[in-house]
């Protein structure tokens, strides 16, 4: 009985002594002489727990160094002259903010984000809504070409332009889930929740759609924006989005 | 990056570049980093990525390259070899990313010919190790400042215990003991 308890204790991750730590360190940094090294390697070969510890420290030493390197790399990166595309990306959020602010103030386009400071559901929506990254825009022919042109707009976050290009296509192919999904997400991104909902619904209704799971998530966000928490919770629960749990725990 | 002949070593001597990388020589690492980013960036941008994603993928590739040099798994002899190596790792990582769950639906909707390279060559045990490495890096950032400074000087800066003791105005024995405690803390975070 006594021995058993002791064994169980051993299986937990126990501390290692400073002496053993330094031995492993010496070994991994190649600071042992040939005899000591051979001796230690024999011990490793005979002791699986020791072998495991050595492996652990190998990763820990490398990881600690890599963590410092990560900081250095960011410094190296910051010193490089930005390319035009980088410059554009860096300035965009500011621009977008300014445009958003002026649009909100001047036209009050629904004005929904004006209130997002106070409304907890709006805040959650803003926190969790991120448009789908979109599809690769390989150039095809005819309609595929039109679709791709819209995708180029979509990926450069020009959702209004994407909606304009896709609307005629969508009328011809109302059951197409790819179109339905990206129309829905684009509308949601522009704040037009009411119009987004039926598009996302057509995708959700299509049982075998590859977009169904993501559509459930976005539809949940749509209802969240409309303060329909019951429906939002049901849809988000049905999705398997990676941020599902985080959002659910915030839903009240 | 512009070529600046005065600031750069030549890699005529294989041993010197390997040694410089192994001891984390700042100028060497910086030069390699800055010289090889753009090519990767162009690749990622052409393949549905943005500059931020290019940076992330490149930094992952850079860590892998640096780690492999340290472990003697990769022994470059020229600048060109390093550039090619970094580019290949980054390209494979980016292909993996595009094939990952988030992008899966893409494959079923569109046929794409541009995504067929040999990305599946990585072995699974390396993946597990890589994950633990990432966890260690994150755990390191969570350590207290004293631990970070000490571990940085010792493991990254390759400074001796005595040097560190002098700089930190501590006894060498305390530095040694503290280093042990800091590593123990890191281990508990990563290998619970």
What are B124-169's pLDDT values in tens digits? 677 788 889 899 999 999 999 999 999 999 999 999 999 999 999 9
Dihedral sign for Cα atoms in the order A71, A72, A74, A78: positive
Q: Band of the pLDDT at B114, cuts 50, 70, 90?
A: very low
Residues B137, A178: C-beta atoms closer than 8 Å: no
Provide the pLDDT for residue B161: 95
Provide the pLDDT for residue A83: 53
Contacts of A210 in chain B (CB under 8 A): 104-105, 108-109
Dihedral sign for Cα atoms in the order A32, A37, A41, A43: negative
Please give the average per-residue pLDDT across B92-107, as a whole number: 73
Residues A69, B156: C-beta atoms closer than 8 Å: yes
Q: Which of A17-21, A80-84, B5-9, B19-23 has the highest mean pLDDT?
A: A17-21
**A225-247 pLDDT per residue, tens:** 888 999 999 999 999 888 888 88
| Lowest-confidence segment of A61-65, A117-121, B181-185 by average pLDDT | A117-121
Of A62, A72, A136, the CB nearest to B133: A62
Residues B106, A70: C-beta atoms closer than 8 Å: no
- Both tokens of A197, joined, read 């909902």
Please give the average per-residue pLDDT across A56-71, as a whole number: 95
Q: How far apart are CA B120 and CA B111, in angstroms?
A: 19
pLDDT over 90 at A216, yes or no: yes
- Both tokens of B2, joined, read 């512009």
Chains A, B: CB contacts under 8 A, how many?
133
pLDDT over 90 at B121, yes or no: no
Q: Which of A87-101, A144-158, B2-16, B79-93 has the highest mean pLDDT?
A: B79-93
Residues B187, A137: C-beta atoms closer than 8 Å: no
Q: Band of the pLDDT at A176, cuts 50, 70, 90?
A: confident
Contacts of residue B185, defined as CB under 8 A and 6 or more positions apart, other chains included, come to B143, B147
Q: How far apart are CA B14 and CA A206, in angstroms?
A: 60
Q: Is the pTM of this model over 0.90?
A: no
Percent of chain A's residues with pLDDT above 90: 38
Q: Band of the pLDDT at A167, cuts 50, 70, 90?
A: confident
**B20-77 pLDDT per residue, tens:** 999 999 999 999 999 999 999 999 999 999 999 999 999 999 999 999 999 888 888 7
Provide the pLDDT for residue A208: 82
SS3 of A159, please? helix
State ipTM: 0.82
Q: Band of the pLDDT at B104, cuts 50, 70, 90?
A: low
Q: Band of the pLDDT at A112, cuts 50, 70, 90?
A: very low
pLDDT over 90 at A43, yes or no: yes
Please give the average per-residue pLDDT across B78-86, as a whole number: 90
Does residue A246 belong to the interface with chain B, where contact is any CB pair within 8 Å? no
Provide the pLDDT for residue A136: 60
Q: Band of the pLDDT at A65, cuts 50, 70, 90?
A: very high
pLDDT over 50 at A95, yes or no: no
Provide the pLDDT for residue A116: 45
Distance from the Cα of residue A42 to its chain's centroid = 45
Q: Band of the pLDDT at A250, cuts 50, 70, 90?
A: confident
What mean pLDDT is reported for chain A?
79
Does residue A77 belong to the interface with chain B, where contact is any CB pair within 8 Å? yes
Of A15, A68, A70, the CB nearest to B59: A70
The shortest C-alpha distance from B125 to chain A (Å) reads 12
Provide the pLDDT for residue B130: 80
Question: Is residue A89 within 8 Å of A215, Cβ to Cβ?
Answer: no
DSSP codes joined into one string, A221-235: HHHHHTT-HHHHHHH
Please give the average per-residue pLDDT across B3-16, as a whole number: 51
Q: Band of the pLDDT at B14, cuts 50, 70, 90?
A: low
pLDDT greater at residue B7 or residue B85: B85
Q: How far apart are CA A66 and CA A72, in angstroms?
A: 10
SS3 of A131, please? coil
């Amino acid at each position: 009985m006594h021995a058993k308890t002791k064994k169980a204790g051993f299986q937990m991750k126990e501390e290692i002594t400073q002496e053993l730590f330094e031995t492993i360190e010496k070994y991994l940094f190649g600071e042992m002489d040939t005899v000591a090294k051979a001796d230690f390697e024999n011990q490793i070969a005979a002791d699986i727990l020791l072998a495991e510890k050595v492996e652990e420290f190998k990763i820990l030493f490398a990881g600690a160094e890599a963590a410092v390197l990560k900081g250095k790399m960011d410094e190296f990166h910051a010193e490089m002259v930005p390319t035009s595309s980088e410059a554009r990306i860096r300035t965009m959020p500011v621009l977008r903010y300014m445009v958003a602010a002026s649009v909100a103030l001047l036209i009050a386009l629904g004005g929904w984000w004006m209130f997002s400071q106070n409304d907890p559901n709006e805040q959650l929506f803003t926190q969790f809504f991120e448009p789908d990254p979109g599809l690769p825009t390989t150039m095809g022919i005819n309609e595929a070409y039109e679709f791709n042109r819209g995708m180029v707009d979509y990926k450069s976050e020009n959702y209004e332009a994407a909606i304009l290009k896709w609307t005629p296509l969508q009328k011809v192919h109302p059951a197409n889930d790819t179109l339905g999904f990206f129309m829905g997400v684009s509308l949601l991104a522009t704040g037009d929740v009411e119009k987004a909902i039926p598009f996302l619904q057509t995708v959700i209704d299509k049982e075998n759609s590859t977009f169904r799971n993501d559509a459930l998530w976005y539809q949940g966000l749509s209802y969240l924006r409309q303060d329909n928490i019951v429906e939002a919770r049901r849809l988000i629960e049905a999705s398997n989005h990676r941020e599902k749990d985080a959002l659910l725990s915030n839903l009240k | 990056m512009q070529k600046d002949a005065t600031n750069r070593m030549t890699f005529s001597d294989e041993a010197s570049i390997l040694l410089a990388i192994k001891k984390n020589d700042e100028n060497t690492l910086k030069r390699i980093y800055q010289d090889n980013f753009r090519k990767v960036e162009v690749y990622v941008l052409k393949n549905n990525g943005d500059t931020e994603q290019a940076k992330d993928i490149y930094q992952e590739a850079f860590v892998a390259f640096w780690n492999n040099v340290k472990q003697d798994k990769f022994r470059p002899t020229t600048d060109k070899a390093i550039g090619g190596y970094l580019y290949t790792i980054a390209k494979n990582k980016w292909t993996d990313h595009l094939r990952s769950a988030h992008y899966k639906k893409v494959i079923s909707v569109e046929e794409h010919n541009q995504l067929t390279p040999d990305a599946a060559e990585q072995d699974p045990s390396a993946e597990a190790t890589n994950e633990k490495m990432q966890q260690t890096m994150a755990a390191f950032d969570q350590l207290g400042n004293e631990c970070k400074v000490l571990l940085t000087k010792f493991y990254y800066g390759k400074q001796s215990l005595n040097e560190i003791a002098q700089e930190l105005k501590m006894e060498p024995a305390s530095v040694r003991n503290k280093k042990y405690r800091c590593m123990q803390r890191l281990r508990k975070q990563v290998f619970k």
